[in-house]
Amino acid sequence: AAIGVPLPHESAELHVSGEARYTDDLPELAGTLHVALGLSRFAHARIVSVDLTAVRDAPGVVAVLTAADIPGENNCGPVLHDDPILADELVQYLGQPIFAVVATSYELARRAAALGKSDDVVRYEPLEPVLSIAQARARQHYVLQPQRLTRGSPAERIAAAPHRIDGEFAVGGQEQFYLEGQVAYAIPTERDGVHLYSSTQHPSEMQTLVAHMLGRPVHQIVCECRRMGGGFGGKESQSAVFACIAALACARLQRPVKLRADRDDDFLITGKRHDALYRYEAGYDDDGRILGLRVEIALRAGYSADLSGAVATRAVCHVDNAYFLSDVEIVALCCKTNTQSNTAFRGFGGPQGALVTEVIVDNIARALGRDPLDVRLANYYGIGARELTPYGQRVEDNVLAPLTARLLETSDYRARREAVAAFNASSPVLKRGIAFSPVKFGISFNVQFLNQAGALVHIYRDGSVLVNHGGTEMGQGVNTKVAQVVADVFGLPLSQVRVTSADTSKVANTSATAASTGSDLNGKAAEAAALTIRERLTQVAATTLGGQAEQVRFEHGSVIGEGGQIPFAQLVNAAYLARVQLWSDGFYATPKIHWDANTMTGRPFYYFAYGAAVSEVVVNTLTGESKLLRADLLHDVGRSINPAIDIGQIEGGFIQGVGWLTTEALWWNRDGRLMTHAPSTYKIPAISDTPAVFDVRLYRNENAEPTVFRSKAVGEPPLLLAFSVFLALRDALAGVAPDARHAPPLEAPATPEALLTALTKFVASTGDGTNDAAP
Ligand code: MTE
Ligand code: LUZ
Ligand code: MOS
């Protein structure tokens, strides 16, 4: 009964009233100490000497810790062990933590850490930094080996094609900008234990890294997270440096220690979405159908591997997006630069993979003088041989054709495209643009073993239910959905089910809540646990009520059998008295998936999520300012467990994607210092950036695979719907010279500066001086 209902988020009232407790809101224990970090002032340098006397002597300072204080492994990297917790001898980016000041207050810790900026504290011998993707690529400076996926004979097909294009393209990175910054609070427990509260998407990894750092067995560490104020991928691996340093200080001083990063430090220390530089070459026919495609994606990994390998693989597996590519070569490079180590961000490389193809298709359409929509449709996956992705997985559950037809109808795309052309013909300064873009997004971690989850369900004698599962709540609603699943199994109202903090002492060896799989995996695990208990209760009910066990139903807080009915709580108590186990674990591992990393083939995804968008923008060609006027989104979440949460995820993902592609620009100066490190210089979307007309709908569908209640993951895929806004901006610029047979050279993010630069080049290349507005 709880499934498919647009119930509010389980913490909605707490969120809006300010009562929801985040890690920094936990009551502090007496004697709690606070940490501030001393950061590298060079992007690449040898540390010649460190003299922390002045920092140690500052008021309130209890200890100053360096790499030498780490008893176990000095690493917080998730894959390769190439991420020092505190830098020792070598610094590899400007902002890298070198020492940790532990003081009696947050203020005093920060003041003391600031003394570390003096030239007398840390002496450096500067080395030459590599600061751009282009530089790293030219030197073949990589954190991991290049990845290559080839099918068919792309070079031959391109050479033989009736038309061909080639080019380069660039997209910027993106800061996660979770509203709650990185924070950890570590409390010493008896016999060398640590209880760590961490704002993290990955409690099990925080637990493990802390144990390795301290040189202790994992069972001495507990990591707990009730909720995050957003993670967006930025707390999948990179909560670790904060968790480790708080735990290190806690273990050494045997005092509770909190580390809450200042927003500017958070920006300087942590990695972001990978920016990318592309080279491509395509051959196509008169209808714009791609016959051969070669793409190279050079990603900025930053100074260490972090999750870049998996990000690159997801990028490779999303170059196709919605399109069948018969003959294709895709290469992904993880370029090593002396900047922050880039990491997960909503979409995890998928957006970077798919965007370049959307730009290529757009360029093809403009070269042919056709509506880009029609070229997209001509390239859609089809049936039979046209179902095969470059990596060999069949697209069996494709709903893009009917979904697209429905969206074109509700958005009135064709008529509005004519209206836009008419508007532009009589508007010299303001130009409008409209674009359609589709999304196909693969669901599952592309690292097979991560696709597992566990849960623990308890029923107490009063009939109230407590659920613990391996997922973490970051605002996305996983706890609400999992509670709905359990409530539905027992026929209970949602108020009867409470979900507790993620806690490594309850469910062990959890995966990160990531890859949009939180509800899929943990929902199934919790369902399994609940079904085990329900099976036992069913036997008790049959005995108590009389009749067949097969006829017993759990509905509206009651248990109904052939011989009568009984309130759920009463049955539970009867089961207890009959010595029936009223709690159970549950486990789930995603079936069917496999992957061969050498050939880059297999079935990496259990299924695909689909969506499409139509966006309309207006650009001021004198100032470069732009505005999103209207967006129509139609997205497939299978059979929705909670339509209110799903719509919220689609809206939020889309707007976050719009920020990435329009206003959010990261800029490092020539020393490698990130200059956009606060909201004053880094612009995320505000509520006023929401389009006046924002039509967001769920596509009526059910998952072809037996996922939890046939729902689909929703967290990441809608971010890619924002492509439509970027493409609409290109369309608006094209409105300056509608007969040009090439696309405006707009790169992302399409800031006012980028729009003006592209406009200038575009006007020059058309050789058309008729536009008075052109700068
Ligand atoms: N929604 C909110 N409100 N806050 C977040 O941090 N993270 C996104 C998405 N939606 C996020 C969010 C990312 S990157 C992922 S992978 C998924 O939520 C993770 O949660 P799920 O797997 O339970 O959907
Ligand atoms: N793969 C993936 C991963 O597809 N998404 C992820 O978030 C992820 N995280 C770690 C390792 N592989
Ligand atoms: Mo999301 S980028 O998989 O945390």
Q: CB neighbours of 501 closer than 8 A, spacing ≥ 6? A: 224, 225, 226, 227, 468
The question of whether 73 is a catalytic residue gets the answer no
Measured in degrees and rounded to the nearest 5, phi and psi for residue 82 equal: -120, 20
Q: Which two tokens stand for residue 66?
A: 């360096």
Written as one string, the DSSP assignment of 377-437 is HHHB--SGGGGB-TTS-B--S--HHHHHHHHHHHHTHHHHHHHHHHHHHT-SSEEEEEEEE
pLDDT digits (tens, 9 = 90+) for 353-385: 999 999 999 999 999 999 999 999 999 999 999
Let me know: does 563 contact 543? Beta carbons within 8 Å: no
Minimal CA–CA distance to 756: which of 620, 629, 631?
620
Ligand 1 atom having least distance to the Cα of 477: 23
Identify the pLDDT of residue 2: 84
Ligand 3 centroid to 420 CA: how many Å? 37
Ligand 1 centroid to 508 CA: how many Å? 21
Distances 98 to 68, 126, 245, 396 between C-alpha atoms, Å = 11, 15, 11, 51
Q: Which two tokens stand for residue 278?
A: 């592309």
Q: CB neighbours of 208 closer than 8 A, spacing ≥ 6? A: 218, 221
To test the pocket of ligand 2, the residue of 205, 308, 314, 451 to mutate (highest count of ligand atoms within 8 Å of its CB) is 314
Ligand 3 atom having least distance to the Cα of 513: 4
To test the pocket of ligand 1, the residue of 478, 516, 524, 719 to mutate (highest count of ligand atoms within 8 Å of its CB) is 516
Ligand 2 centroid to 200 CA: how many Å? 15
- What is residue 646's three-state secondary structure? helix
Ligand 3 atom having least distance to the Cα of 231: 4
294 CB less than 6 Å from ligand 2? Answer: no
310 CB less than 6 Å from ligand 3? Answer: no
Ligand 1 atom having least distance to the Cα of 653: 10
657 CB less than 6 Å from ligand 3? Answer: no
CATH assignment, 31-128+182-260: 3.90.1170.50
Long-range contacts of 406-412 (CB under 8 A, 24+ apart): 406/634, 406/699, 407/436, 407/612, 407/613, 407/614, 407/632, 407/634, 408/373, 408/436, 408/614, 410/632, 410/634, 410/695, 410/697, 411/614, 411/632, 411/695
Share of the chain above pLDDT 90, in %: 98
On whether the 452-589 domain is CATH 3.30.1490.440, my answer is no
Let me know: does 709 contact 526? Beta carbons within 8 Å: no
Q: Would you identify the CATH topology of the domain 276-445+598-766?
A: Aldehyde Oxidoreductase; domain 4 (3.30.365)
Given 651, 716, 747, 753, the catalytic residue = 716
113 CB less than 6 Å from ligand 2? Answer: no
Identify the pLDDT of residue 772: 46
Identify the pLDDT of residue 1: 63
87 CB less than 6 Å from ligand 3? Answer: no
236 CB less than 6 Å from ligand 3? Answer: yes
Amino acid at 308: S
Q: Which ligand is nearest to the CA of 472?
A: 1
The Cα–Cα gap between 312 and 297 comes to 8
Minimal CA–CA distance to 490: which of 449, 515, 460, 446?
460
Q: β-strands 583-589, 452-459: how paired?
A: antiparallel
Measured in degrees and rounded to the nearest 5, phi and psi for residue 651 equal: -60, -50
Q: For atom 7 of ligand 2, which residue has the closest CA?
A: 515
515 CB less than 6 Å from ligand 2? Answer: yes
To test the pocket of ligand 2, the residue of 232, 445, 449 to mutate (highest count of ligand atoms within 8 Å of its CB) is 445
677 CB less than 6 Å from ligand 3? Answer: no
Q: For atom 1 of ligand 1, which residue has the closest CA?
A: 476
344 CB less than 6 Å from ligand 3? Answer: yes
307 CB less than 6 Å from ligand 2? Answer: yes
State the span(s) of the chain assigned CATH 3.90.1170.50.
31-128+182-260
What distance lies between CA 321 and its chain's CA centroid?
17
pTM for this structure? Answer: 0.97
Half-sphere exposure of 235 (CA within 13 A, CB side): 29
Q: Which residues of the chain have pLDDT under 50?
A: 769, 771-775
Distances 532 to 462, 544, 582, 689 between C-alpha atoms, Å = 19, 19, 9, 48
To test the pocket of ligand 3, the residue of 272, 273, 346, 473 to mutate (highest count of ligand atoms within 8 Å of its CB) is 346
Q: For atom 16 of ligand 1, which residue has the closest CA?
A: 514
Ligand 1 centroid to 555 CA: how many Å? 31
State the span(s) of the chain assigned CATH 3.30.365.10.
276-445+598-766, 452-589
